[in-house]
């Protein structure tokens, strides 16, 4: 599969779409661009790294999902080489075009624009419905930045991987700043997780789970959800 990989039931024809405009109309998106870092790599030198963007997941009890990512992606090896002065301008331009073509293989990317220094401004939108045992991966299997998994017992797990302790210095040496937020919105019942903030979304019985992620606080966000049970809003 290409980036933005999905296994399970595809988005059904005629089913309600859940794109960026729908997220905004329903009040799911943050009012301004936030930032998040999440990366799952054994070595930073092989990774795409989100470093300034908004990332939000909507997961419903029928296993339908919406995912919106808007902001920056940094290709760390290129950022490191540019910072070290290892590449000519022609070599940088060539590598940038290769990376843009690679991202463009996934048609969920609506915008890709080079910002220089190995950074790219992107907008990504995906929606669909997972099977009883399904998975959605952003960016790809080798760069599992954000993952949604569903299981046969009707439960789901949502997680984003952050930097490991031994990767932080490599990122700092590349001149990349980490400071961000991650959000999950669901109408299923959360059974466990490590969200720093939980509150009603204000739309039907959806609840919002938020994480602040900085260089000092790099715990990996995770949320387990029982999709068999609708969330019960707290009493006012």
| Confidence band, pLDDT 50/70/90 cuts, at residue 35 | very low
Answer whether residue 236 is part of any domain. no
Answer with the residue of higher pLDDT: 96 or 214. 96
The answer to whether residue 235 is domain-embedded is no
Radius of gyration, alpha carbons of the chain: 18
14 pLDDT band (50/70/90 cuts)? very low
Q: Is residue 175 part of a domain?
A: yes
Backbone angles phi, psi at 3, to 5 degrees: -60, 155
Give the pLDDT score at 167: 73
In-domain check, residue 87: yes
Range with top average pLDDT, 26-30, 54-58, 125-129? 125-129
Please tell me the total count of domains within the chain: 1
pLDDT digit string (tens) for 93-139? 999 999 999 999 999 999 999 999 999 999 999 999 999 999 999 99
Give the pTM.
Answer: 0.80
Residue 164 lies in a domain: yes
pLDDT digit string (tens) for 127-184?
A: 999 999 999 999 988 888 999 999 999 999 999 876 676 777 777 776 777 777 899 9
The residue segments making up the domain with residue 56 are 5-230
Reduce the DSSP state of residue 232 to 3 states and report it: coil
Burial class from Cβ neighbours inside 10 Å (0-12, 13-18, 19+) for residue 181 reads buried
In this prediction, residue 6 has a pLDDT band, given cuts at 50, 70 and 90, of low
Residue 222 lies in a domain: yes
Confidence at 188, pLDDT banded by 50, 70, 90: very high
Q: Is residue 156 part of a domain?
A: yes
User: Given CA atoms 17, 102, 145, 111 in this order, what sign does their dihedral have?
Assistant: negative
Q: What is the reported pLDDT for 171?
A: 73
Residue 75 lies in a domain: yes
70 vs 138: CA distance, rounded Å: 13
With a pLDDT cut of 90, the percent of the chain lying above it is 53
């Amino acid at each position: 599969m290409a980036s933005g990989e999905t296994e399970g039931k595809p988005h059904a024809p005629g089913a309600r779409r859940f794109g960026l405009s729908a997220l905004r109309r329903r009040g799911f998106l943050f009012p301004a661009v936030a930032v998040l870092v999440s990366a799952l790599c054994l070595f930073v030198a092989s990774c795409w790294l989100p470093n300034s963007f908004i990332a939000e997941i909507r997961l419903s009890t029928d296993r339908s999902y919406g995912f919106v990512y808007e902001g920056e992606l940094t290709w760390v090896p290129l950022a490191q080489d540019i910072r070290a002065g290892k590449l000519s301008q022609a070599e940088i331009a060539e590598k940038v075009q290769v990376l843009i073509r690679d991202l463009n293989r996934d048609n969920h990317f609506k915008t890709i624009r080079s910002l220089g220094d190995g950074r790219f401004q992107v907008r990504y939108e995906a929606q669909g419905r997972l099977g009883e045992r399904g998975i959605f991966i952003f960016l790809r299997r080798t760069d599992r930045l954000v993952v949604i998994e569903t299981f046969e017992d009707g439960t789901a797990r949502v997680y984003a991987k952050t930097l490991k302790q031994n990767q932080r210095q490599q990122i700092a040496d590349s001149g990349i700043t980490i400071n961000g937020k991650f959000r999950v919105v669901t109408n299923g019942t959360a059974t466990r997780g490590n969200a720093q903030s939980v509150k009603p979304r204000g739309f039907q019985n959806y609840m919002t789970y938020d994480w602040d992620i900085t260089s000092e606080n790099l715990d990996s966000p995770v949320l387990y959800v029982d999709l068999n049970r609708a969330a019960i809003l707290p009493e006012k």
